[in-house]
Amino acid sequence: MQDPTSSSDSEIGRVEVKETTCYMCACRCGIRVTLRDGEVRHIEGNPSHPLNQGVICAKGASGIMKQYSPARLTKPLRRMQGAERGESGFEEISWEEAFQIMEQRLSKIRAEDPKKFALFTGRDQMQALTGLFAKQFGTPNYAAHGGFCSVNMAAGLIYTIGGSFWEFGGPDLDRAKLFIMLGTAEDHHSNPMKVELSKFKRAGGRFVSINPIRTGYSAIADEWVPIKPGTDGALLLAFIHEIIKQGLYDRDFLVRYTNAAELVINDPSSDEDGLFKRFEMHIEEGCFDPQNKLWWDRELDQAISTHTEGVDPYLLGEFTLDDGTPVKPAFQLLKERVEEYTPEWAEGITGIPAEIITRLAHEMGVTARDQKIELPIQWTDSWGKDHESVTGNPVAFHSMRGLAAHSNGFQSIRALGILMSILGTVDRPGGFRHKAPFPRPIPPCPKPPNGPEGVQPNTPLDGMPLGWPSKPDDLFVDAEGEAVRLDKAFSWEYPLSVHGLMHNAITNAWRGDPYKIDTLLLFMANMAWNSSMNTTSVRDMLVDKEENGEYKIPFIIVCDAFQSETIAYADLVLPDTTYLERYDAMSMLDRPISEYDGPVDSVRIPVVPRTGDCKPFQDVLVELGGRLELPAFVNAEGKPKFRDYPDFVTNYETSPGSGIGFLAGWRGKGGEKFLKGEPNPRQWEMYQKNDCYYHYKLPRSYQYMRNWNMGYLRWARAHGMTRYAEPINLHIYSEPLQKFRLAAQGKWKGKQPPERLRKRIESNFDPLPFYGETLLSRLVDTHEYPLNALTQRPMAMYHSWDSQNAWLRQIHTHNYLFVNPQLGHKQGFDDGDWVWVESPTNKVRCMCRFSEAVEPGTVWTWNAIGKASGAWGLSKRANESKKGFLLNHLIPEELPPCEAGDNMSNSDPVTGQAAWFDVRVKVYKADNSEPQETWPQFPQQKQVPGQLGRRGKWQAFIAGKFGKVLGL
């Protein structure tokens, strides 16, 4: 061999280096792609990118195998006449034919009843466009992945602190001293969190992980605290109990920056019971929290307007106003609420010894109080008071699905927000910090339509498909108080379902409850497999027919880059591009990649040509929007306004002359403006020159305390990020929730819930957090099904489903059920045995592995490793289908019949968050005579025309030669 030091890799072939943004998961790291003779040689982290700072993960570095995957689709396909749905009997058609089919069908629906068209998308990160398309079409039946991912985390914290984790904000590990991670949270954010976690540990920070399972980041925790699933609320309330009891809360912070001292009407006989006492004052109508509330002055012993200069109010006590109204400060109500939630009480529920709970509460409280950070940064608060410094209480938290994916998750997460608030750690150094455009008002301004009249033929939707109700009258219900949306979002069943309930869309459409639809368009959502609960039944629903032989869901369009399980159920398949082949905008109008120090958005720019006839879904929507003459996509003559998606991104403004578009950087004619400004014809070029991102660093005085930072809030208003510059006080006590409760009690003058739901609303819309067992545990026999079953994602497949990736699938080829050996010994099975896992919904046969890193009442597996036979370009013998399995078969998408209804979603009753992690199971040994393969098995899925197809026994990737070898 030639001496390796004698030549350079860059001398081989024609070398090009291009920057773009990764999409192997939802992180959106900056990447640098090196090409050799037009093929991807190397994908590495972009060192100048603010998000990943040069690092890359296992998936990102395996992007080559995604680009050249045998599961790639390259041709538009139509289900052949005579072929049954689900059999992959497709024929190739042209894009023109595909567009004509869609145009004909969708224009008819739009003219008759736009809600018969439903658009549900996976983790697409282009909701700015997909949501716009749905609104312009006029259908409310639009949602994305959030409803079945972590909407409880978004809603629970946004309704409490005006921001949340992941894209909305996160822990400031750069300055934190104590970091608590609750539940599985590793995939939001993945790389940035890893970067920060390692710096945090090296700087001597203490990391505590509370999780039923010790994997992922928990592995490097200084302390692992195993907890029973679904009991996080009990633990958090016990922390709050102990912190209040010991006086370890940050009193000054609570008084000034939360509603803790504000006086709540405490008169059960009044229609205003539980609302804040407000004094008369002219208030501008808006979606902010008016400041006309009262404190009780400690000096004068009387009620006084909040934030009166020099006044120190009581946080505890009960008082009577001059008009005789009995009132209590919100903090008094919180103290009363957590009275019974002692560490000893929580021990019995969580399985965590009371002394550990007490110790952790003390660690948090004492660290927050005694290790304060003072940054010499001058700022002015919303009430005009100047501050010489910014204070930080260095205790940080992080959490995502582990807390969220339970039916009691919303209130658990409210408790987390309150814990962060009483410790005084919100938007301060070392605690939680927001990312632009957050903080936003509690709740944010956009609202869904508030009645069926919001949906009209050939008319855009009157409201946003997804929004933030602040009171019962914001609900999207008909005169009987029942749902208008297919997924029943924003109805009394799930009033604050701010991300929709995609997980019930297919079941509801199949049943025709609330109505039947005509066309279902799925983008990048694997609803026939790992994105559905109760997968076996959902697959049956997709092929179920009416008595007349028509499918119950008449027409299904699926857009994906790969041969997923869902492709087989399509009537029309639209081949999408990979992330290396397209333009994308990670827009401020959706969820950008902002940093703590200011707004950041980013783009993808193609680095390789498209494969076959694939077409970016964005281009499909822009073209369809033009053909259907949706107002935002056509000019005054009704002619298409945009050539393609890049052209759309350059020129689209939210309204004519608004200056707000998809990208925030280099706006204005010459690129001299940011956030707001006229379209810039050279905007893409400017992004490309800046490594595909735009980062505006706020002045230091605008980087903290943003809920109440006058300078920041006015800056945000001036740049179109928010409508109001009013302070966003933290909701220790949630008045919006109380309004829904009052409606359930018949005390609200506006909309009222149907009778069957009154009790459910009254108990769940508690303005203070409470702990209750998960819904499924209350409705199934927990003696028969004593175990909790969970899933986590392995790091090499976080937020992805990359079993078609030749490199990643060697890391996780199939999954096991992990069980504590204590359970195995009790049930009579051994490590490696085949076992049955059974829930009241279904059962699964799989292999088990003993693990000491799981609490004995929990069994778990890696999610989405198991595949249906023949899907994803894999052989029918692939381990993913023979030994891999999907836990989803066991998880019901609906609850057993109960008082609230016969078909209630297995979701949080406040937000409609899919309760993936509530499932109860039993595990027992499979008979030795049974086949040694997982169950259920499904008929082999066929490859489709135009699919890149299977490979031989060997694959040796060498950039520049690979395509020639394969004949691509």
Partner 1 sequence: MTQLALVIDLNVCVGCHACVTSCKEWNSSGWAGPLPDQRPYDADPTGTFFNRVQTFEVGEFPKTETIHFPKSCLHCEDPPCVPACPTGASYKREDNGVVLVDYDKCIGCKYCSWACPYGAREYDEMQRVMKKCTLCIDRITDETLPEAERKPACVLSCPTSARLFGDVHDPDSDVSITIREEGGYQLMPEWGTQPSNHYLPRRKVRIKIHEDELIRSDNPLVKEELPALPEDVETLDDVAW
Asked if residue 311 lies in contact with residue 295, where contact means CB atoms within 8 angstroms, the answer is yes
In this complex, which beta carbon is closest to partner 1, that of residue 328 or of residue 499? Answer: 328
Of 387, 511, 723, 951, which lies in the binding site for partner 1, with binding defined by CB under 8 A? Answer: 951
Is there binding between residue 965 and partner 1 (CB under 8 A)?
no
Is residue 418 a contact point for partner 1 (CB under 8 A)?
A: no
Binding partner 1 by CB under 8 A: which of 22, 57, 151, 423?
57
Residues 646-705 close enough to bind partner 1 by CB under 8 A: none
Residue with Cβ nearer partner 1 (448 or 870): 870
Residue 53, phi then psi, degrees to nearest 5? 50, 40
The reply to whether 370 sits near partner 1 by the rule CB under 8 A is: yes
Region near partner 1 per CB under 8 A, out of 52-60, 159-167, 562-570, 600-608: 52-60
The reply to whether 578 sits near partner 1 by the rule CB under 8 A is no
Q: CB 204: neighbour CB atoms within 10 A?
A: 7
Question: In this complex, which beta carbon is closest to partner 1, that of residue 500 or of residue 870?
Answer: 870
Q: How far is the CB of 205 from partner 1 (least distance, A)?
A: 7
DSSP class per residue in 84-143: PTTS--EEE--HHHHHHHHHHHHHHHHHH-GGGEEEEE-S-S-HHHHHHHHHHHT---EE
Rounded to whole angstroms, the Cα distance separating 187 from 182 reads 13
Sheet holding 30-36, edge to edge: 15-21, 30-36, 39-45
One of 513, 762, 957, 966 touching partner 1 (CB under 8 A): 957
Is the Cβ of residue 182 or residue 796 nearer to partner 1 in the bound state?
A: 796
Is 243 a binding residue for partner 1 by CB under 8 A? The answer is no
Binders in 806-825 for partner 1, by CB under 8 A: 806-811, 813, 820, 822
* 1 contacts partner 1 (rule: CB under 8 A): yes
Residue pair 33/42 in contact (Cβ under 8 Å)? The answer is yes
Least distance to partner 1 from the beta carbon of 554, Å?
34
CB pairs under 8 A, 24+ apart, for 315-322? 315/251, 315/254, 315/255, 315/260, 315/261, 318/266, 319/263, 321/263, 321/277, 321/294
In the bound complex, what is the minimum distance in angstroms from residue 424's beta carbon to partner 1?
11
Using the rule CB under 8 A, give the single segment among 85-93, 162-170, 359-367, 503-511 that binds partner 1.
359-367
Per CB under 8 A, the list member of 55, 321, 354, 966 interacting with partner 1 is 55
Please identify which residue in 231, 450, 602, 804 interacts with partner 1, judged by CB under 8 A: 804
Residue 270 to residue 678: CA distance in whole angstroms: 52
3-class SS letters over 690-735: CCCEEECCCCHHHCCCCCCEHHHHHHHHHCCCCCCCCCCCECCCCH
- Map the footprint of partner 1 across residues 193-222, applying CB under 8 A: 194-195, 197-198, 201-202, 204-207, 214-220, 222
Nearer to partner 1, 317 or 746 (CB): 317
610 contacts partner 1 (rule: CB under 8 A): no
Binding to partner 1 (CB under 8 A) within 838-867 occurs at 851-856
Report, in Å, the least distance between residue 611 CB and partner 1.
17
According to CB under 8 A, which residues from 874 to 903 bind partner 1?
A: 874-875, 877-879, 882
User: C-beta of 797: minimal distance to partner 1 in Å?
Assistant: 9
Q: Where are the alpha helices (DSSP H) in 167-209?
A: 191-202
Nearest distance in Å: CB 226, partner 1: 5
Total residues interacting with partner 1, rule: CB under 8 A: 104
Q: What is d(CA 692, CA 50) in angstroms, rounded to the nearest whole number?
A: 11
Q: Kindly tell me which residue out of 795, 817, 871, 914 binds partner 1, with binding defined by CB under 8 A.
A: 795
Helix (H, G, I), strand (E, B) or coil at 368: helix
C-beta closer to partner 1: residue 186 or 518: 186
Shortest Cβ distance from residue 39 to partner 1 (Å)?
A: 9
Nearer to partner 1 by Cβ, of 150 and 218: the residue is 218
Q: Which is nearer to partner 1, 409 or 424 (CB)?
A: 424
Nearer to partner 1, 226 or 599 (CB): 226
The only residue of 18, 42, 676, 925 in contact with partner 1, by rule CB under 8 A: 42
Q: What single-letter DSSP state applies at residue 632?
A: G
Q: What is the dihedral of CA 467, 471, 474, 476, to 10 degrees?
A: 90
Task: Work out the burial of residue 310: count CB atoms within 10 Å of its CB; fewer than 13 is exposed, 13-18 middle, 19 or more buried.
Answer: exposed
Longest alpha-carbon distance in the chain: 94
CA trace torsion 683, 684, 690, 696 (10° rounding) = 50
302 binds partner 1 (CB under 8 A): no
**Least distance between partner 1 and beta carbon 248 (Å):** 8
Residues of span 245-264 touching partner 1 by CB under 8 A? 246-249, 251
Q: Contacting partner 1 (CB under 8 A), which of 64, 158, 373, 620?
A: 64
Burial bucket for residue 554 (CB in 10 Å: 0-12, 13-18, 19+): middle
**In angstroms, rounded to a whole number, what is the distance separating the alpha carbons of residues 338 and 235?**
11
Q: Which stretch binds partner 1 (CB under 8 A): 502-510, 545-553, 754-762, 805-813?
A: 805-813
- Tell whether residue 391 is a contact of partner 1 (CB under 8 A): no
Per CB under 8 A, contacts with partner 1 among 466-495 are: none
Smallest distance, Å, CB 855 to partner 1? 7
Are 653 and 664 a contacting pair, CB within 8 Å? no
Closest to partner 1 by CB, 207 or 785 = 207
Q: Answer whether 156's CB lies under 8 Å from 417's CB.
A: yes
Interface with partner 1 (CB under 8 A), residue from 316, 632, 686, 725: 316
Does the footprint of partner 1 cover residue 45 (CB under 8 A)? yes
User: Which is closer to partner 1, CB of 181 or CB of 436?
Assistant: 181
Sign of CA dihedral 381, 383, 386, 388: negative
Rg from Cα positions in the chain: 27
Instruction: State the minimum distance, in angstroms, from the CB of residue 139 to partner 1.
Output: 38
Q: CA-CA distance, 165 to 26, in Å (whole number)?
A: 14
Provide, rounded to whole angstroms, the least separation between the CB of residue 238 and partner 1.
16
Take residue 32 and report the two structure tokens written for it.
């640098």
Q: How deeply is 543 buried, as exposed, middle or buried, from its count of CB atoms within 10 A (0-12, 13-18, 19+)?
A: middle
Q: Least distance in Å: CB of 683 to partner 1?
A: 29
The region of 74-82, 314-322, 527-535, 738-746 touching partner 1 under the rule CB under 8 A is 314-322
| 578's tokens | 């990979």
Q: In sequence order, what are the residues at sequence separation of 6 or more whose Cβ sits closer than 8 angstroms to the Cβ of residue 530?
A: 801, 863, 864, 886, 888
Q: Does 942 bind partner 1 (CB under 8 A)?
A: no
191 is a site residue for partner 1 (CB under 8 A): yes
- Indicate whether 873 belongs to the interface with partner 1 (CB under 8 A): yes
Distance CA 368, CA 377 (A): 20
The pair of structure tokens assigned to 564 is 């997923």
Which one among 25, 26, 61, 349 touches partner 1, defined by CB under 8 A?
A: 61
Q: How far is the CB of 813 from partner 1 (least distance, A)?
A: 6
Q: What letter would DSSP give residue 83?
A: P
919 binds partner 1 (CB under 8 A): no
Identify which range of 55-63, 114-122, 574-582, 598-606 contacts partner 1 by CB under 8 A: 55-63
Instruction: Report the 3 state secondary structure along 516-537.
Output: CCCEEEEECCCCCCCCCCCHHH
Which of 62, 497, 764, 842 binds partner 1 (CB under 8 A)? It is 62
